[in-house]
Amino acid sequence: MIQRDYLIIGGGIGGASVCQGIRRYDKRGSVTLISTEIFPPYKRWILSKSFLREKDPQLKKLQEPDEHWYQANKIETRFGTVVTQFNIDRRLAVLANGESIEFNKACLAMGSRPVRPPVAGVGLGNVIYLRTIRDALALREMANLEKTVMVVGGGLLACEAAASLRMMKLKVSLMHRDSYLLNRYVDPETGGWLTEYFTKHGITMLMGESLNGFEGKTILRNVQTKSGDRHPAGLAVVACGAEPNLDLVRNTPLAGPHGSPVTDYLETEEKGIYAIGDLAFYPDRVMGGVRRQTHWDNARDQGVIAGANMTGKKRIRYEQIPYFWSEMFDLHLDCVGDFSVLPTRIDLRGAYAKKKFVARYYQGEKLRAILLCQQTPREVEAAKKELRHALGK
């Protein structure tokens, strides 16, 4: 039986940050990090951006921290390893190779997996679900052979991938069931402007269209819409959302309908077991309510805090303003606050035509979110402070 003070399951930026948080306050405790991926934790957010476009991407540059950090800080890493059982009562994790790890404290950081639409052909060759380095490498290779690509989805990942593929000179179409891009986050006017921006960059926009299936014997040849149209495509990128990887703890108190419920210290109701990142359904002490965030900055910050709390040397609440950012073509967007509900009033400063603006989103008289386009890091930090002040935090 292997015994560890700390066990982290999940090798994304969240899991890596938990290790950093632990080592900040406990230099000696035994730590094991387990990941199903064969690569050390890396900057997943870059896969849909510059990584796709670079002629010779360096995998080591994606690592954060680099793999030598784990050795220097005596973190045992087990990459390419699957946890098959997680016993809460016995504080025991069983690995696919039959080994068992008994732990004092654990953190669930398994992230999420792409949603596969319930249509025919989702398993065809050349249908890519962009989540891992392997997915990105496969997409790069296919993009060298197939020049006609269909992107399915209208969220951040779909938009970023479509923009990158178009910048690689591919013939790109984008299918989205809503009438404008980023409809989960932005208002109709901003979304309409962004949709038109993609059109101007040569992407064929199939807005208001729903996917009916992928056609082909072994390799994709056509993408069919529910309206009956067939669009030739040798390659498809499907970005229809993600769902938390909670199968390991399904039917336990660690898995709820919206993620893994945690306190504002990121601890589950099972004392000593924490959950972070795409899994954590946490009370938002700044914006109010309970939410689950699926963005890189959120996973990194939560990991550091959970790691510190696991040591018992610190007791830190997670009280961050929700934040994420995106790049599409030459646009840089920063999103500060709660974009989950459409605003009742928008205050726009700047102009879409100049590709430089700040949009403040209000619910009644209360400021809830700020969207920034082509603004400096200093202005983004100022927006976070402005929102905290407006919320009385």
- Per-residue pLDDT of 322-354, as tens digits, reads 999 999 999 999 999 999 888 999 999 999 999
Q: Which of 107, 152, 146, 109 is nearest to 126 (CA)?
A: 146
Sign of CA dihedral 79, 95, 113, 321: negative
Does residue 299 contact residue 278 with C-beta atoms inside 8 Å?
A: yes
Q: Which domains does the chain have, with CATH numbers?
A: 2-113+243-311 (3.50.50.60), 116-240 (3.50.50.60), 330-390 (3.30.390.30)
- Residues paired with residue 75 on neighbouring β-strands, in sequence order: 31
Tell me the per-residue pLDDT of 300-327, one tens digit each, with 9 for 90 and over: 999 999 999 999 999 999 999 999 999 9
Does pTM surpass 0.85? Answer: yes
First to last CA, the chain: 47
In the 8-state DSSP scheme, what is residue 155?
S
Two tokens, residue 309: 């709390």
- Measured between alpha carbons, how far is 138 from 54 in angstroms, rounded to an integer? 14
Average pLDDT over residues 114-130: 94
Which of the four pLDDT bands, split at 50, 70 and 90, describes residue 163? very high
Which of the four pLDDT bands, split at 50, 70 and 90, describes residue 202? very high
Query: What pLDDT score does 98 carry?
Result: 94
Which of the four pLDDT bands, split at 50, 70 and 90, describes residue 64? confident
In Å, how far are 16, 31, 37, 77, 260 from 73, measured between CA atoms? 12, 10, 21, 11, 29
How many C-beta neighbours within 10 Å does residue 83 have?
20
Residue 251: which region, alpha, beta or left (left: phi > 0; alpha: psi -120 to 50)?
A: left
Which of the four pLDDT bands, split at 50, 70 and 90, describes residue 392? confident
In the 8-state DSSP scheme, what is residue 247?
G
Tell me the per-residue pLDDT of 216-272, one tens digit each, with 9 for 90 and over: 999 999 999 999 999 999 999 999 999 999 999 999 999 999 999 999 999 999 999
Query: What pLDDT score does 299 carry?
Result: 95
Two tokens, residue 342: 């459409």
Q: Which of 185, 176, 230, 239 is nearest to 208 (CA)?
A: 176
Please state, rounded to an integer, the average pLDDT across all residues of the chain.
95
Tell me the per-residue pLDDT of 78-120, one tens digit each, with 9 for 90 and over: 999 999 999 999 999 999 999 999 999 999 999 999 999 999 9
Nearby residues of 172 by Cβ (< 8 Å), 6 or more positions away:
149, 150, 151, 162, 165, 166, 202, 203, 204
Instruction: Answer whether residue 369 shows pLDDT above 90.
Output: yes
Average pLDDT over residues 25-43: 95
- Measured between alpha carbons, how far is 38 from 40 in angstroms, rounded to an integer? 7
Nearby residues of 116 by Cβ (< 8 Å), 6 or more positions away:
122, 129, 238, 240
Query: What pLDDT score does 129 carry?
Result: 95
Two tokens, residue 147: 């020049």
Does residue 155 contact residue 147 with C-beta atoms inside 8 Å?
A: no
Instruction: Answer whether residue 4 shows pLDDT above 90.
Output: yes
Query: What pLDDT score does 58 carry?
Result: 76
Q: Report the DSSP pairing between strands 112-114 and 100-108.
A: unpaired
How many C-beta neighbours within 10 Å does residue 76 have?
15
Work out the angle at residue 119's Cα, subtended by the Cα atoms of residues 118 and 124, and round it to the nearest 5 degrees: 115
- Measured between alpha carbons, how far is 217 from 143 in angstroms, rounded to an integer? 20
Average pLDDT over residues 171-186: 97
In Å, how far are 211, 284, 310 from 315, measured between CA atoms? 47, 17, 9
Task: For residue 371, give the amino acid letter.
Answer: L
In the 8-state DSSP scheme, what is residue 42?
B
Please, is 389 exposed, middle or buried when counting C-beta atoms within 10 Å of its C-beta (0-12, 13-18, 19+)?
exposed
Average pLDDT over residues 171-197: 97
Which of the four pLDDT bands, split at 50, 70 and 90, describes residue 37? very high
Does residue 215 contact residue 130 with C-beta atoms inside 8 Å?
A: no
Instruction: Answer whether residue 60 shows pLDDT above 80.
Output: no
Query: What pLDDT score does 234 carry?
Result: 95
Query: What pLDDT score does 55 carry?
Result: 80
| Percentage, residues of the chain above pLDDT 70 | 100
Two tokens, residue 183: 């409809």
E strand spans, 44-199? 75-79, 83-87, 92-95, 100-108, 112-114, 127-128, 148-152, 171-176
